[in-house]
């Protein structure tokens, strides 16, 4: 039976006491040896025709047996065995793209944002199906009722520190790295949670994708922007449609750099900054931040060490 039947008045039944206390965050409830079986509620392509690649939003029913918090990941073990040695596939981690209450707000579903991994063979001038990503293709091909073998939840790196409701959050994503921030933004602005009622800070989202068709969840961000213009900000870096200040492609670090002064001063005042996406995003970002720090007469390594020691720096890349 679908998880969408339950009507809920407010989203307050999955909260710690007090709601910001992280001592009870669920961790590794299900392990490789005794995984959980989730059932797909829906799988939907969420990018336009000119997007680079195919990205899907997959809602999974966990019957309330697999709780998690925003910023955590679920592990997925794709079906079948490895070609090279006949062993089961290893687990793949995906950041959860919904709040702990799920898209239907019943507390019984969770969502993933997955890009289908394909391999373009330069010799064949075509995609080589033998080299496509096993797990991402399995997930994007699921249909309602498909079973998914899952582990987790894992991770405490990307959790929101909610004790001070005036904390500013700076969220930097490339592609499907948007997932954890969708959970954050739904929690802070869309749901009737204690966190949302208390929040007085500014949540600033930077998303880098190739073009407008590749934007993820834009309609959701626009609706939050309309309702909370003083607490939510949104900036896109569209590498194939925009130019940076030097006339080159606009990558995520170029867009963040446009606001460097403001971001550095927010961080000085205790803001938390998050990075999520492909690991190739970090060198360009670090190089840009280092240049800005030096232009301000700061020792970059010491500055970064300071942020890390105050737990203001959160990175989850893959």
Q: State the DSSP string of 76-111.
A: EE-SSB-TTT-PBPPPEEEEB-S-TT-TTSSSSEEE
Instruction: Indicate if 316 belongs to the active site.
Output: yes
Among candidate residues 30, 68, 94, 217, the one labeled active-site is: 94
Instruction: Indicate if 276 belongs to the active site.
Output: yes
Give CA–CA dist 106/99, Å, rounded.
Answer: 11
Among candidate residues 70, 162, 191, 316, the one labeled active-site is: 316
DSSP state of 117: P
Instruction: Indicate if 56 belongs to the active site.
Output: no
Beta-bridge partner residues of 238: 209
Instruction: Indicate if 101 belongs to the active site.
Output: no
Q: At what angle do helices 260-268 and 281-295 cross, to 10 degrees?
A: 80
Q: How many CB atoms lie within 10 A of CB 12?
A: 15
Among candidate residues 95, 98, 111, 239, the one labeled active-site is: 95
What is the phi/psi pair of residue 248, to 5°?
A: -90, -175
From the list 107, 127, 154, 114, the residue with the least C-alpha distance to 12 is 107
User: Which residues have C-beta within 8 Å of that of residue 52, sequence separation ≥ 6?
Assistant: 209, 210, 211, 214
Instruction: Indicate if 94 belongs to the active site.
Output: yes
**Enzyme catalytic residues:** 94-95, 276, 316, 318
């Amino acid at each position: 039976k679908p998880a969408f039947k339950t009507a809920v008045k407010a989203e307050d039944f999955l909260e710690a006491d007090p709601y910001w206390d992280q001592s009870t965050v669920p961790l590794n409830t299900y392990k490789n040896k005794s995984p959980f079986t989730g059932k797909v509620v829906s799988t939907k392509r969420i990018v336009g025709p000119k997007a680079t690649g195919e990205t899907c939003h997959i809602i999974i029913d966990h019957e309330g047996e697999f709780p998690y918090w925003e910023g955590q990941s679920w592990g997925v073990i794709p079906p079948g065995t490895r070609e090279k040695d006949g062993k089961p596939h290893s687990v793949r981690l995906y950041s959860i793209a919904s709040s702990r209450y799920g898209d239907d707000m019943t507390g019984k579903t969770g969502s993933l944002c997955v890009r289908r991994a394909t391999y373009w063979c330069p010799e064949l001038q075509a995609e080589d199906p033998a080299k496509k990503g096993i797990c991402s293709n399995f997930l994007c091909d699921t249909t309602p009722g498909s079973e998914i073998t899952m582990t987790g939840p894992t991770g405490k790196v990307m959790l929101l520190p909610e004790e001070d409701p005036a904390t500013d959050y700076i969220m930097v994503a490339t592609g499907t790295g948007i997932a954890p921030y969708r959970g954050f933004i739904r929690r802070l602005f869309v749901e009737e949670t204690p966190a949302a009622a208390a929040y007085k800070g500014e949540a600033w989202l930077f998303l880098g994708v190739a073009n407008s068709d590749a934007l993820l969840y834009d309609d959701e961000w626009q609706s939050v922007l309309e309702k909370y213009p003083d607490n939510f900000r949104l900036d896109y870096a569209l590498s194939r449609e925009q130019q940076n200040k030097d006339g080159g492609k606009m990558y995520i670090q170029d867009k963040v750099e446009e606001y460097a002064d403001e971001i550095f001063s927010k961080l000085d005042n205790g803001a938390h900054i998050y990075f999520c996406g492909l690991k190739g995003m970090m060198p360009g970002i670090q190089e840009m931040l280092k240049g800005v720090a030096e232009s301000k007469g700061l020792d970059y390594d010491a500055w970064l060490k300071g942020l890390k020691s105050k737990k203001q720096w959160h990175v989850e890349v893959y």
